Chains A and B, each alone.
Chain A
Amino acid sequence: MRISRSKMIPVAALALLALVGALVAGLVLRMGTPAVSPLATRQLAAAADQQPINNTEQLLWQYQDRVRQSPDDVNSYAVLGNIYLQRARETGDPSYYGKAEAVFAEALKRDPQNIEALIGKGSLALSRHQFQEALALGQQAASLNPTIPRIYGVIADAQTELGMYDEAIQTLQKMVDMRPDLSSYSRISYMRELHGDIPGAISAMQGAVNAGGPASENTQWVRVQLGNLYFNQGNLAEAEHEYQQALYQLPGYVYATAGVARVRAAQGQYNEAVALYNQAIAQIPLPEFVIALGETQEAAGQTADAAKQYELVQAMQQLFKANGVDTDLELALFDADHGRDVQGTLALARSAYERRPSVKGADTLAWALFKAGQPAEARRYSDQALRLGTQDALMLYHAGVIAQAQGDSAAARDYLKRALTLNPHFSPLFALRAQQTLAELGSTATK
């Protein structure tokens, strides 16, 4: 075939351009068109009388079968482990963690350098709050293959929780340069939030929501985080909008239900808040939901009911202890607020901070120290907690109360004012106390 040269270049250029464009178009188009292959028809028929199946669940069967059929296929173990982790997130059922651990072990037994299994094991360690181990696994994976963005997600999460913020920022930069997606955007958002850049955090989290993820649960998770950012700014309307959106996309999503409950409590609609928290707890009784329910009931004057929730949280802690699980920062904070054993709580907060010297860890330790009557040391740690400039009303409230205990009224007023300006509804219990303390400080100052 001969074509004159002058015609060839535009033709070739057009062909190439068309190729690029229509290729992608084809992909999208095909995904949108219910084209049915004979094979798929049979599968559809087989699945027809089933209830709507969640994608993750379907994958789970698929990969379980694959592992059963070829027990030496390292990659199938690794993928299955990651599916278990996703399933644990979706259902809140921690028994998947044990299964994930077992399949990762099988994969690494066959190939100690399998990247997917190492990354998965790192994620698992993060879920179990074993941050040092997660960091080590992430670094091992990165040394084997530095081109996979997910590895940096594991490393950055571990570094953040371990208080290594400068390192975490570098890691995140590397990650987002490789791939700007839900995973990297949501982490950037958290990093910005910690550094007090709430508008930046919101825009990054919005980016994460827009990017979406393969699993709807992930997208709705970041949407709830976006709602939380709005909430922390005191923007209840936007916060509720995001929570409701998440509920619309994923009906019954507990984190979104709890978000709406939080908004209701902030609006003073305690009965509705309590009902929603109860609904969330009926699905997955996470301690954070139970604590929030108790505090809402206490704010509503239902102290007997609140006491029941606090008892329940203590029962949960008993269980953690029995299972050898490190008590979480949030539970240490709960102890400081509602527990009776002040010294025990302090010891707990200290050991938690040792393992996890993050700003949240410092805030918890500061609060435990304050409750134990050591305001001077408490002040040191509350300064630590605010060293990044985090705009968190509860942390500012803690700093204000600690400053007051130290006799530093000016700082106390400043912190409390900032907390209340940031979000006048930050907690059903403590927002009110912040106002009272501020009023006291105001009156003493005028005297």
Chain B
Amino acid sequence: MRRWLLPALFAIMLVIAHPPLHAEAHPLGNFTVNHYSRIDVGRDAVQVRYIVDMAEIPAFQERQAIDTDGDGQVNDAEQSAYLSKQAAVLVGGLHLTVDNAPVELRAVDQSLTFPVGQGGLVTLRLVLNLAAPLTPATAPIAIGYRDTNFAERIGWREIIVRPLDGVVLGDSTAPTQDQSDELRSYPQDMLSNPLDVREARFTMTLGAITAGNTANASGVAVPSRDRAIDSFAALIASKELTPPIMLLSLLLAFGLGAAHALTPGHGKTIVAAYLVGSRGTARHAIFLGITTTVTHTLGVFLLGLITLFISRFILPEQLYPWLEFLSGVMVLGIGLLLFRSRLMQLLGRTRAHAEHEHGHGHDHDHDHDHNHGHEHDHDHAHGHSHDHDHGHSHMPPGVNGQPVTWRSLLALGISGGLLPCPSALVVLLSAIALHRVAFGMLLIVAFSIGLAGVLTGIGLLLVYARQFFERFPTDGRLLRALPVASAGIVTVAGLVIAAGALVQAGLLRV
């Protein structure tokens, strides 16, 4: 997820944050070094036509090097001396392999010209025709080619591979047609990028010889770059919001939310630990799901607002670790509290604080009266507090964990939704940037519903699994320890969050 998320965030940041002016950046062209390789694969040899086209400035530098006697002119002797030396260097930067074994390329002929460029300057064009022998075989031969010349230099890099007569190419990574007419014209389309192909791989097999056929299309390969970097965040930028697109986007957002809920973390541990530890029911699980949806939605909205607002005053990058630490400490606190009370329960000392829990007891009797809850349903009917209730539960101690209270359920639902997925935040921020706030909010609601749906499902699953589990006549030793263990998990989660924050803030070293 990180891989697509960061670019998406980056796009938003590009729109929000702006890089400083590079005061001395020049509209300077003319300093590219461009290369081109055309690989013709025949039955018994590989031929490579290698061209280097230097624009005015590198050409000027190169001529300074060619002009060994320093008279400002390039004479024939200097030129041919340079050419033979440079050809050897360039060939050394080309790597041809046949079935993974390096094969030496030999120069068949070479030429050096200086076509006229801009501003009364010249460019440089060096052409090498190279060849390497092949041993014909019936089995497919794997061939690789790599150009490492001028690796750092900006420039057009193009490789094409063509089968000669009687040869069939397979799995080629390179096209058979060139785009630059051997570096004579470069596409100027505003949506094109300078080609940067530095290697090619393909296999060759012998085929039927058809006289007069030069290049067939068998070697055509689709350019390998997968540019479909779609994401939840991309939904927001769908061009026109026709109803079908909107519906589709909402469905997709829902699905992504559901998928997202299945990723590690996301409060599931906490929710699960709670439901298992307490005596959760289906209604609890559903209520949890709804709370999570609402919290997650509100959370993303609030976080978006906060991000926009706070970033005016404090560098957000410096703020995050501290807020994270804070929340880690809070989760830790909740965990410790749970842990303590459950441990006490386990040790049978709950009465100690049964007394002062009285103010809030008379809530919603409607839910605790289920089949399995035979010890505390009456309490609610009487309107006593929960803590009080199980204080004098007449069940074997520990079969019940802390019973579910709506208040703690709410808190849990909130914490489940509290950890919003940043891609939802990206959507909101891009929605703001693109002035499509309403649609962005709608997408987030759909996303949250998907998320909560899965969480609820997991909750239900756990509830029923536990009920099933309880039917077995065990002495409940395991069940007794479960609430404590789950509190322990919550505590550890808090610790991890807080420690992670400190590491981020640079105060703790791993």
Interface residues of A (CB under 8 A from B): 1-4, 6-7, 11, 15, 17-40, 43-44, 46-47, 50, 55-56, 58-70, 72-73, 75-76, 79, 82-83, 86, 88-89, 91-95, 97-99, 102-103, 106, 116, 119, 123, 126-129, 149-150, 153-154, 157, 161, 177-183, 186-187, 207-208, 210-215, 217-218, 221-222, 252, 282-288, 304, 308, 311-312, 315-316, 318-323, 325, 328, 330
Contact = CB atoms under 8 A, between A and B. Distances in A.
Interface in B131-156: 152-154
Q: Which 6 pairs across A and B sit closest by C-beta, in order of nearness?
A: A26-B419, A70-B239, A322-B119, A214-B13, A35-B263, A25-B327
B25 A89 contact: yes
Given A18-B414, A315-B121, A39 B230 contact: yes
29 contacts: A1-B406, A2-B360, A3-B363, A3-B407, A15-B414, A19-B295, A19-B299, A22-B418, A23-B420, A24-B320, A26-B303, A31-B6, A37-B259, A39-B259, A50-B225, A55-B6, A58-B229, A67-B191, A72-B239, A73-B237, A93-B194, A94-B29, A98-B188, A116-B15, A150-B17, A213-B17, A312-B61, A315-B56, A325-B28
Interface string B59-80: 0110010000010000000000
Contact of B418 (A26, A323, A328): A26
Most buried by B among A4, A24, A182: A24
Most buried by A among B17, B315, B414, B421: B17
A15 B411 contact: yes
A34 B1 CA distance: 6
Nearest to A46: B226
B324 A62 contact: no
Contacts of B57: 285, 312, 315-316, 319
A126 B25 CA distance: 9
Given A3-B360, A286-B24, A61 B56 contact: no
A322 B118 contact: yes
B227 A61 contact: yes
Given A73-B239, A286-B24, 15 more contacts: A15-B411, A23-B306, A26-B327, A28-B501, A29-B497, A43-B226, A59-B10, A79-B14, A93-B194, A94-B28, A123-B21, A157-B21, A179-B311, A183-B20, A214-B13
Given A60-B193, A92-B154, A210-B315, A183 B299 contact: no
Contacts of B500: 29, 32
Interface of B: 1-7, 9-11, 13-32, 56-58, 60-61, 64, 70, 118-121, 152-154, 188, 190-191, 193-194, 225-231, 234, 237, 239-240, 256, 259-260, 263-266, 295, 298-299, 302-303, 306, 311-315, 317-321, 323-328, 330-331, 359-360, 362-364, 406-407, 410-411, 414-415, 418-422, 425, 434, 497, 500-501, 504
A33 to B, nearest CB: 6
Contacts of A64: 191, 193, 227
B26 A286 contact: yes
A93 B231 contact: no
A66 B265 CA distance: 33
A40 B3 contact: yes
B1 A37 contact: yes
B329 to A, nearest CB: 9
A22 B331 contact: yes
A63 to B, nearest CB: 8
B295 to A, nearest CB: 7
A250 B263 CA distance: 32
B243 to A, nearest CB: 17
Contact of A62 (B188, B191, B229): B229
B327 A212 contact: no
Contacts of B328: 25
Given A26-B420, A312-B60, A319 B118 contact: yes
A86 B20 contact: no
B315 A180 contact: yes
A103 B189 CA distance: 10
Most buried by A among B19, B240, B328, B330: B19
B326 A25 contact: yes
A103 B193 CA distance: 14
B360 A24 contact: no
B302 A19 contact: yes
Contact of B119 (A30, A34, A149, A321): A321
B65 to A, nearest CB: 9
Given A33-B265, A127-B25, A323-B118, A27 B425 contact: yes
A38 B259 contact: yes
B331 A215 contact: no
Contact of A285 (B10, B24, B31, B363): B31
A202 to B, nearest CB: 16
A102 B188 CA distance: 11
Contact of B58 (A34, A82, A95, A285): A285
B26 A94 contact: yes
Contacts of A183: 17-20
B233 to A, nearest CB: 10
B21 A126 contact: yes
A311 B237 contact: no
A328 B410 CA distance: 65
Nearest to B29: A94
B110 to A, nearest CB: 23
B326 A315 contact: no
A150 B433 CA distance: 13
Contacts of B418: 18-19, 22-23, 26
A346 B406 CA distance: 83
A118 to B, nearest CB: 13
Given A21-B323, A24-B320, A55 B10 contact: yes
A178 B312 CA distance: 5
B359 A213 contact: no
B27 A79 contact: no
A215 B10 CA distance: 7
Nearest to B20: A186
Most buried by B among A214, A312, A320: A214
Contacts of A180: 312-315
Contact of B120 (A21, A69, A88, A322): A322
B266 to A, nearest CB: 8
A92 B20 CA distance: 15
Nearest to B496: A29
A416 B421 CA distance: 60
A322 B119 CA distance: 5
Most buried by A among B119, B362, B415, B500: B119
A21 B330 contact: yes
B480 to A, nearest CB: 29
A29 B267 CA distance: 12
B27 A7 contact: no
A75 B434 contact: yes
Contact of A61 (B154, B225, B266, B321): B225
B27 A97 contact: yes
Contacts of A17: 330
B321 A6 contact: no
Contacts of B29: 94-95, 319, 323
Nearest to A104: B190
Nearest to A288: B24
A72 B238 CA distance: 11
